[in-house]
Amino acid sequence: MNEQRVKSSFSFYLQILILLAVFLSVGVVLVQVFAAARGMSRAARAETDGTTLCRSAAEAFGASGTAEATAALLGGTADGETATCYYDAAIRAAAPDSAWTYRVTVNVSEEETAAGTIAAAHIEAYAADGTVCASLDTETYLPGTKGGTAYAA
């Protein structure tokens, strides 16, 4: 009788041990799934913020047509044909020497036509680690001037 009792308690402990191993395995898998989901959420947030910043920069470029004016509208700086703006995590303008989260560059090129100028911009939003979050290409028409007044050819 005593031998049967030992066998029965060993079987019980073995079942508990197997059940514990299964729960631990499921827990490990769930932790990995949630960690991957958090990483995907961060990447999606950066892409969404980058797209928003690129669209805002495109609107500013469309209203101004030059790197200097675009930088002035966005609160950034211009260096030749490139405007650079910095933003914090809440997508508010930030100083270049502060703890910024995103950097937006607007590279402007112009093509002269008889009726005016076609200004093109390649806009990129970068995360603080240097990865590109989003990019956008846009163009705007700048009417030509003749004698200080706009004209159409």
Quick: pLDDT tens for 6-49. Answer: 667 788 889 999 999 999 999 999 999 999 999 999 999 999 99
Ranges of H-type helices in 65-135: 67-74
Average pLDDT, whole number, for the chain? 87
What is the Cα–Cα distance from 121 to 137, expressed in whole angstroms?
A: 6
| Range list of H helices, 65-139 | 67-74
pLDDT in tens, 91-100: 898 888 888 9
Tell me which of 116 and 59 has the higher pLDDT. 59
Residue 4 has pLDDT above 70, yes or no: no
Using one digit for the tens of pLDDT, what is the confidence trace for 124-143? 999 999 999 999 999 998 88
pLDDT for the residue 151: 44
> From the centroid of its chain, how far is CA 73?
21
The full set of domain ranges for the chain reads 2-152
53-69 mean pLDDT: 93
pLDDT confidence of residue 9 = 79
Q: Taken in order 45, 46, 51, 57, is the CA torsion positive or negative? A: positive
CB of 125 within 8 A of CB of 54?
yes
For the chain, what percent of residues have pLDDT higher than 90?
63
- How does residue 150 score in pLDDT terms, banded at 50, 70 and 90? very low
Roughly what angle, to the nearest 10 degrees, separates helices 67-74 and 2-64?
130
